[in-house]
Amino acid sequence: MLIHRAAFFLLLTILSYACTAQDTSGKADAPLNFPSRFFSRVQHKTSNLDEQLTRQTEKYLQRIQRRELRLYRKLYKVDSLGAKGLFGGAMDRYADLGKKLASDTGAAGMHLSDEYQAYTDSLQGMLKFMKDPQAAGTLAQLKTLEGRMSDADQIKAYIRERKQQISQYIQQHKNLAGLLGKDYQEINRSVHYYSEQVRQYREMLNDPDKLEKQALAILNKLPSFQQFMRTNGQLAGLFNVPGNYADPSSLVGLQTRDQVAAIIRQQISSAGSGGAAALQANLQSAQSQLASYKDKLSKLGSGSGDMDMPDFKPRNLRTKPLWQRLEWGTNLQTSRTNPYYPNILDLGFSLGYRLGDKSTIGIGSSLKIGLGNGIQHLSVTVSGASLRSFLDIAIHGSFLATAGLEYNHTNALASFQDIRQLSKWTASGLVGITKTVSLKSRVFKKTRLQLLWDYLSYSQIPRTQPLLYRIGYNF
């Protein structure tokens, strides 16, 4: 794997050098032949996103359809005309949207979302620019995904519209809130979580890996590619960029920065001695207000189409894939077999699964390393092992309540039979407090300080220490 990656980077580096040489020599750009590994990587990424988007959309559509059908049946018993008016044609519309998503190949042309995706636009332009059969196949797959992303936006808009219509009916008929409220809340949750899911897929599509960035950097050195993007990118189609874009002659007649600065100085001087202070105060106020708006936008979602204010507390992890809910960790603990000083070091590893925003459940193990019987008799030996399980629940801020059950083997494991003999394992029941400290590190995300009480230690023969202190790190 490392050999293939190194070979790919070497080929990209050679291509980059060739592009630089062509640019400095002023000669025409020669056609570039990117390795098939690049195209297969992009195809794998787009096909996975396509599959996930289609599967999740079908699941949410079916879920909302079932809820609306239940609402229709409940409402029909008390208001048949209202039920027909509110739900008439909705099932057919859902079916049409699902069929369109499944059959869309992106042949309709350019698809624009609520937010401009810079890398997606560059990737599509890069594949169009390349004269390679593999690039054509990858481009077709990318267009299919973009088409289905556009379909997902239409579905998202329609189910939000349906949610609003049902909400208005319930507000106008408050006596039916108890009858319809539960199913409506389930629709409301589905709308929110589906919107979050689509937003995450867009972010994943617009997030290039290292190899894709390198390939795009190579092409950006070609003048012909730069000119191609000026006339064929999404922004060019939106704003009708002229052919002489970036040419100094296209700037004739526009105000220069010095001219704008002179106008501002003239306006300030006409306002008197307090003009500059007033302008500065207004600028600071505007910057503060802009920062406030940016903060609100970041909480609501990136893109106007994703700003859906839920009237419930959403579970942020519900739309996360499995690998984003896993937490790997390691921890250290010392214990002693004498009354004076620690002489055993526990090196532990753990794997946690986040059940929600405030709880994590997991398993782990540790290796007990003996340190000898004193400073003059230091030696490193394998003195045993342990199997662990734990549950963390957030209680306040960065403090968590921790509980766990562990089995410890305090003798060296000579053979597999030692593992199977339960009599040689001692149980520990742990409860305590965990304090997490965030670290600005690429490797360790959190530092964990734990103080635990082993309430089963008093029944052990020989008695083990009741209080344990551990320091750990999560990746």
Q: Given this model, what pLDDT does residue 241 score?
A: 56
Report the Cα–Cα distance between both ends of the chain, in Å, rounded.
23
Q: Does the global pTM surpass 0.75?
A: no
Which tokens is 350 given?
């753990």
pLDDT at residue 307 above 60?
no
334, pLDDT greater than 80: yes
The span from the CA of 56 to the CA of 469, in Å, is: 44
Which run of H or of E encompasses 436? strand 425-438
* Residue 253 backbone zone (phi > 0: left; psi -120 to 50: alpha; other: beta): left
> What average pLDDT does this structure show over 33-41?
80
Q: At what angle do helices 223-232 and 118-129 cross, to 10 degrees?
A: 120
Q: Which of 414, 410, 420, 362 is nearest to 386 (CA)?
A: 410
- The encoded tokens of residue 402 equal 């921790």
Read off the pLDDT of each residue in 288-302 and give the average, rounded to a whole number.
61
- Kindly give, in sequence order, each residue whose CB lies less than 8 Å from that of residue 331, ignoring residues fewer than 6 positions away: 346, 348, 350, 366, 448, 450, 470, 471, 472, 473
Contacts 24+ apart (CB under 8 A), 333-342: 333/366, 333/468, 333/469, 333/470, 334/469, 335/464, 335/465, 335/468, 336/465, 338/373, 342/371
Ranges of each domain in the chain: 36-239, 325-474
Query: How confident is the model over 93-118, as pLDDT tens digits?
Result: 999 999 999 888 877 665 555 567 77
Q: Comparing 23-27, 203-207, 361-365, which segment has the lowest mean pLDDT?
A: 23-27
What pLDDT score was predicted for residue 167? 92
Which one has a higher pLDDT value, 108 or 421? Answer: 421
* Band (28; pLDDT cuts 50, 70, 90): very low
Per-residue pLDDT, 375? 65
Q: Please, are residues 212 and 41 in contact by the beta-carbon 8 Å criterion?
A: yes
CATH number of the 325-474 domain: 2.40.160
Task: Tell which wins on pLDDT, 233 or 70.
Answer: 70
* Residue 26, pLDDT score: 40
User: What does the pLDDT average to over 431-447?
Assistant: 82
What residues contact residue 50 under an 8 Å CB cut-off, 6+ apart?
141, 144, 145, 148
Looking only at the bridges linking them, the beta strands covering 344-354 and 446-454 are unpaired
Per residue in 140-186, pLDDT tens? 888 899 889 999 999 999 999 999 999 999 999 989 889 999 999 99
pLDDT digits (tens, 9 = 90+) for 259-294: 777 777 777 777 666 667 777 777 777 777 777 766
**Residue range 240-266, pLDDT digits in tens:** 555 555 556 655 666 677 777 777 777
Q: What percent of the chain has pLDDT over 70?
A: 76
Distance between CA atoms of 306 and 20, rounded to whole angstroms? 41
Per the DSSP assignment, residues forming a β-bridge with 216 are: none
Confidence of residue 455 (pLDDT cuts 50, 70, 90): very high
